[in-house]
């Protein structure tokens, strides 16, 4: 299972992408450790790849401890 705890809640890759993007993605890859620290609280950052539409792929980043998130569109 690649579910992870984010802000005290267990989330699936799809739910994590939804938290970052604001809407549910068409598809999401497994959650991975992003190997970086949250700039707001120093917490652990995890990443997930997802497709907000058929033609787009985004790597999203989310802090596990606070509401900070970021995204890289390709
Ligand atoms: Zn944080």
Tokens (6 digits) for 72:
């890289």
CA 26 to chain centre: 14
Question: pLDDT at position 2, please?
Answer: 80
Q: How far is the CA of 38 from the centre of ligand 1 (A)?
A: 5
Structure tokens at 27: 């598809």
pLDDT at 73: 78
pLDDT for 18 equals: 97
Report pLDDT for 1: 55
CA of residue 15 to ligand 1 center, whole Å: 18
Neighbours of 38 (CB within 10 A): 20
Per-residue pLDDT of the chain (74 residues), as tens digits, is 589 999 999 999 999 999 999 999 999 999 999 999 999 999 999 999 999 999 999 999 999 999 999 999 76
């Amino acid at each position: 299972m690649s579910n992870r705890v984010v802000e005290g809640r267990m989330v699936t890759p799809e739910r994590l992408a939804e938290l970052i993007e604001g809407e549910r993605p068409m598809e999401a890859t497994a959650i991975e450790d992003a190997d970086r620290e949250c700039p707001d609280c120093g917490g652990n950052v995890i990443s997930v790849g997802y497709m907000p539409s058929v033609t787009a792929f985004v790597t999203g980043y989310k802090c596990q401890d606070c509401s900070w998130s970021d995204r890289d569109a390709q």
